Amino acid sequence: MKIFPGIQIKQLDAYTIEQEPIASIDLMERAATALTGAIMKYRGNETPVVVFAGPGNNGGDALAVSRLLGERGYRVKAYLFNTSEHLSEDCATNRDRLLENSNVEFTEVTSKFEPPVLDKDCLVIDGLFGSGIKKALSGGFAAVVNYINASPSTVVSIDLPSGLMCEDNTYNIRNHIIRADKTLSLQLPKLSFFFAENADYLGEWELLDIGLSQKGIEETFTTWYFTEEEDIRKLIKPRKRFDHKGNYGHALLIAGSYGMAGASVLAAKACLRTGAGMVTVHAPLKNNDILQTAIPEAIVRHDAHEFCFSMPVYPDNYTAVAIGPGLGQSEETATALIEQIRLCQEPMVLDADALNILAVHRNAMNSIPRGSILTPHPKELERLVGKCESSFLRLTKARDLATTYKIFVVLKGAYTVIATPEGNCYFNPTGNPGMATAGSGDVLTGVLVSLLAQGYTSEESCKLGVYLHGMAGDMAKEKLGERGLIASDIAENLPAAWIKLTQSID
Ligand SMILES: NC(=O)C1=CN([C@@H]2O[C@H](COP(=O)(O)OP(=O)(O)OC[C@H]3O[C@@H](n4cnc5c(N)ncnc54)[C@H](O)[C@@H]3O)[C@@H](O)[C@H]2O)[C@@H](O)CC1
Ligand SMILES: Nc1ncnc2c1ncn2[C@@H]1O[C@H](COP(=O)(O)OP(=O)(O)O)[C@@H](O)[C@H]1O
Ligand SMILES: [K+]
């Protein structure tokens, strides 16, 4: 699914109006009908409703929703803020339509606003501003936002919480944004929905199909995407009757210093559970027994060093290499890592301490094979690119890193985003806060190198791997809940996730 900037959403509206064709006011009616349906599912008509409408098309939607709810037996009070005496055409038409409708108690605010009582049983519909907002709300609008936010009422926002920008909220005024319990967004998600600092404003969000032109959506350029399960299913390669382990690659995992053997165990297990034909773990001597006991399916290759990685591995015997989980950052490890990166010619996976070492040996970035996959969490990314003031700026920097070095940057977290060498960004929907537990990232590294080893391209490995990893986490959550979930559970649930994903394929 595509994610468009606000400006392109406007163009898409215009395209739909012209191509369908449909009158702008009828498109608004279609949006309002979808919104009304969703609101009716959320709260029955015993709920008193108070609607706040702004002067633009978001306000137009809100006034149309007021009328439709009134017709369906809801007790609705609607306030239209027309303080600059300029309404969009469709907003004005909906005001007139509402005035003809005696079911709704309607007030047009032109100067002084006498706020209604908003108690806890009330449902507030926030239609002050949507995708057309250009700067932070201020003055009277900020006061209305504060009034709504201070109330105990449940708040549903139309399209996006008023005051929230579609993309960059770095310099927005945070307490001038509506805090919704639910956001009913029209057709497509907005980029700002994927950023942690906006979660409290959005509440739960849901997309409503308002029938914007599919052809228009297909033809409109974007660099942002929200991955869907059908995109992922298309990537999966079937297994054939006469296949043998040689067909599924041999992954090399360089991981786990002494005291961190667990990282290599988790990654190796995940690598095997993702389907690699063979896995070799290169590990310090001291970790041998742990690895051989914990994961008998893996081959263990010994470093000369007892405690850490010190000896680069010639990569030609392997189909893919991953390095980093639990590696440590000692001087000999840093030297060996830099040499290892030089030896590798094919895309590799770099995670955790490999990234921390690169952050202090920036020159080595130039030796990373094109198409390699870096999997930083936000802190690791900031070590590489510097401090970021917001998630939007962090995304921009992750993308710059990907395009500069022609690599894939997998920025981990809720809605993990994959930035490609071409500058595209794919947000992943799977995963849950139960995965915020030590070792989850090590599991992801194992998944990714496994897919690379099996012959998936780097881009396919990122999309499929991140999705599968999150799905395994979601399946673990179904059985164990979020709080007790640990990283091994994610690895253990990879087979179940595969089964679910391949149901109609195998
Ligand atoms: N155009 C269309 O055909 C459709 C649009 N829809 C709705 O239209 C919305 C977008 O409508 P608009 O483009 O009219 O934009 P908005 O309704 O979000 O707001 C635009 C108005 O707000 C003013 N404004 C912008 N920033 C402000 C600020 N900081 N303080 C005070 N005023 C400010 C603008 O000057 C303009 O008058 C969407 O969010 C959606 O709800 C839907 O009706 C679906 C169809
Ligand atoms: N709230 C969340 N929602 C979805 N996925 C999450 C969430 N928290 C963590 N994860 C996932 O768990 C993994 C954590 O990785 P990382 O931070 O590297 O952990 P560690 O270093 O402990 O292995 C990432 O893949 C991340 O996307
Ligand atoms: K709104």
Domain residues of the chain, as ranges?
2-222, 229-501
For the cut 80, the answer to whether the pLDDT of residue 281 exceeds it is yes
**Which is it for strands 224-226 and 2-3: parallel, antiparallel or unpaired?**
antiparallel
For residues 145 and 161, the answer to whether their CB atoms sit within 8 Å is: no
Please tell me the distance between residue 8's alpha carbon and the centre of ligand 3 in angstroms: 18
- Please calculate the CA angle 30-33-36 and round it to the nearest 5 degrees: 150
**Measured torsion, CA atoms of residues 278, 279, 280, 282, in degrees rounded to the nearest 10:** 170
Could you identify the atom of ligand 2 that is nearest to the CA of residue 442? 23
Which stretches within 348-457 are classed as H helix? 352-360, 378-385, 391-405, 440-453
pLDDT of residue 505: 67
CATH class of the structural domain 2-222: alpha beta
Task: Please tell me the distance from the alpha carbon of residue 386 to that of residue 409, in angstroms, as a whole number.
Answer: 15
Please tell me the distance between residue 378's alpha carbon and the centre of ligand 2 in angstroms: 10
pLDDT of residue 101: 78
Secondary structure class of 374 (helix, strand, coil): strand
Q: Return the closest-CA partner of residue 3 out of 424, 465, 402, 463.
A: 424
**CATH of 229-501 given 3.50.50.60, 3.40.1030.10, 3.40.1190.20, 3.40.640.10:** 3.40.1190.20
C-alpha 16: how far from its chain's center?
27
Which stretches within 274-377 are classed as H helix? 288-294, 331-343, 352-360
Which stretches within 203-330 are classed as H helix? 214-219, 229-233, 261-273, 288-294
**Residue nearest (by alpha carbon) to ligand 1 atom 25:** 133
Pocket of ligand 2 (CB under 6 A): 352, 377, 412-414, 416, 431-433, 435-436, 438-442, 444, 469-470
For the cut 90, the answer to whether the pLDDT of residue 462 exceeds it is yes
pLDDT of residue 362: 96
For residues 235 and 456, the answer to whether their CB atoms sit within 8 Å is: yes
For the cut 90, the answer to whether the pLDDT of residue 150 exceeds it is yes
What residues have their beta carbon closer than 5 A to ion ligand 3? 58, 126, 130, 157-158, 162
pLDDT digits 0-9 by tens, 183-237: 999 999 999 999 999 999 999 999 999 999 999 999 999 999 999 999 999 999 9
Q: At what angle do helices 331-343 and 352-360 cross, to 10 degrees?
A: 100
Q: Return the closest-CA partner of residue 274 out of 452, 413, 414.
A: 452
Q: What is the ipTM of this complex?
A: 0.93
Q: Does ligand 1 lie within 6 Å of residue 483's CB atom?
A: no
Span 433-454, average pLDDT = 98
| % of the chain exceeding 70 in pLDDT | 100
pLDDT of residue 50: 98
For the cut 70, the answer to whether the pLDDT of residue 91 exceeds it is yes
Best probe residue, ligand 1, of 129, 167, 205 (max atoms within 8 Å of C-beta): 129
